[in-house]
Amino acid sequence: MPAAPHPAPPAPASAPSAQAPSALAPSAMARPFIRIEGVSKRFGSFQAVRDVDLTIGEGEIFALLGGSGCGKTTLLRMLAGFEDPSAGRIFIDGQDMTGVPPWERPVHMMFQSYAIFPHMSVERNIAYGLKHERMSAAQRADRVREMLDLVQLAPFAQRKPHQISGGQRQRVALARALARQPKLLLLDEPLAALDKKLREQTQFELMSIQSRTGVTFIVVTHDQEEAMTLADRIAVMDRGQVRQVGSPTEIYEYPNSRFVAGFIGAISTFAARVVRLTGEIAEVDIPAMDGTFAARSVPGLVEGQSVTLALRPEKISIAKTCPAAVNVVEGQVKDLAYFGKDSLYRVTLPGGDLISVHAVNARRADEGGRPADWDDRVWLSFEPGSAILLTD
């Protein structure tokens, strides 16, 4: 993960409602470069994007993450200028983009289908945007060569798009979008059309190209892993709204809502009630676990409040003997899946609910590596700091 290239000033309070109540330092963000202010988009009776506020820093890789129909692609198309916001304004580098047509925006897009011109060679595709630049033929040829080298396609310069592979086509699309040195590159599901092996390779290539060129990337994706590995910051979207903005760590470790907690990674959630607040720690009563447990408090909690306690499977320890820990609950293994390097347990809690527990198989299974088996009585424990309290 390339760090933001500039020293981090405090993040502006662009979307206070969506900021995580985070114990981490605010994620690093460079000079604000793109400002999205109260942007909404309506198609007939369908509200695709509703009142989105976002600030994106220069040189950042920013991911818009969400399921299909969450409005992430519409937001991207509004940045490119293919759609006009029904309300709100978009600023790129301080310039109001309202009414600016796509061909005058300092923004280029890499389309999900790549949209490579089929009747032009690789070279001419990459050169296409440059004909609108005031530059000599020699300068243009230099720039095309530079781009071909950047994406390692120099031997394929004269090929037609149908004569190269899908991965190569994707690199043509990237080179074409970068050729005019845009201030902002929009990537619509950049890895969706690639197979698994190529995805990982391309992912790192994208990141290295971004850090070499310093162009701000906005990536639209439905794949949380892709967003986590690529992006410096992520905006999680749902039904046209931004639910949370933060670094991958913030989003994963400090989700601000049940939606975000459930969307990113696996999680078990339980209804709970706050019994006592002592400094950093909130004691909560969890009927499903038949007891009172300690969790790190979040701002604004009051005693007696109903909350949700969420636990990631890998934050829970599983043992066949009762451990000396703050939060311990007894259960019975209902199911286990052995993946080799780790195992997933489904454990029945006293209240009858199931909880997922992830354990690394640090030793061979037949040498005590597997802490529990089917139907075993087990003790689960977790640190107060690992438990997530959600108030929504």
Q: Whose Cβ is closer to other proteins: residue 192's or residue 354's?
A: 192
Please spell the DSSP secondary structure of 255-319, one letter per residue. -SSHHHHHHSS--EEEEEEEEEEETTEEEEEEGGGTEEEEEE--TT--TT-EEEEEE-GGG-EEE
C-alpha span between 260 and 312 (Å, rounded): 13
Per CB under 8 A, the list member of 18, 76, 80, 390 interacting with other proteins is 80
- Cβ closer to other proteins: 128 or 259? 128
Interacting stretch for other proteins, rule CB under 8 A, among 65-73, 142-150, 174-182, 329-337? 174-182
Nearer of residues 76 and 372 to other proteins, judged by Cβ: 76
Closest CA to 62 of 257, 251, 246: 246
Least gap, CB of 65 to other proteins (angstroms): 22
Instruction: From 4-12, 107-115, 258-266, 334-342, give the range in contact with other proteins by CB under 8 A.
Output: 107-115
Contacting residues for 275 by C-beta, under 8 A, at least 6 apart: 283, 284, 285, 292, 303
Q: Candidates 91-99, 173-181, 240-248, 326-334: pick the segment binding other proteins (CB under 8 A).
A: 173-181
Residue placing its CB nearer to other proteins in the complex, 82 or 374: 82
Asked if 115 touches other proteins (CB under 8 A), the answer is: yes
Asked if 91 interacts with other proteins (CB under 8 A), we say no
Say which residue the tokens 């354990």 belong to. Answer: 359
99, 101, 304, 352: residue in contact with other proteins (rule CB under 8 A):
101
Collapse the DSSP code of 79 into the 3-class scheme (helix H, G, I; strand E, B; otherwise coil) and give the result.
helix
Distance of alpha carbon 34 from alpha carbon 336, whole angstroms? 47
- Which span sits near other proteins by CB under 8 A: 60-68, 161-169, 208-216, 262-270? 161-169
Which of residues 158, 163, 201, 306 is near other proteins by CB under 8 A?
Answer: 163
The two beta strands, 327-338 and 342-348, are: antiparallel
φ and ψ at residue 196, rounded to 5 degrees:
-55, -45
C-alpha 125: how far from chain center: 31
82 binds other proteins (CB under 8 A): yes
Site string for other proteins, 43-62 (x = CB under 8 A): --------------------
CB atoms within 10 A of CB 10: 9
Query: CB within 8 A of 81, min separation 6: which ones?
Result: 97, 100, 101, 102, 105, 107
Q: Is 181 in the site for other proteins (CB under 8 A)?
A: no
Please, which of residues 124-153 interact with other proteins by CB under 8 A?
A: 128-129, 132
Q: Is 160 in the site for other proteins (CB under 8 A)?
A: yes
Per-residue tokens: 61: 């890789």
List residues near other proteins by CB under 8 A: 80-82, 101-104, 107-109, 111, 113, 115-119, 128-129, 132, 160, 162-165, 176-177, 180
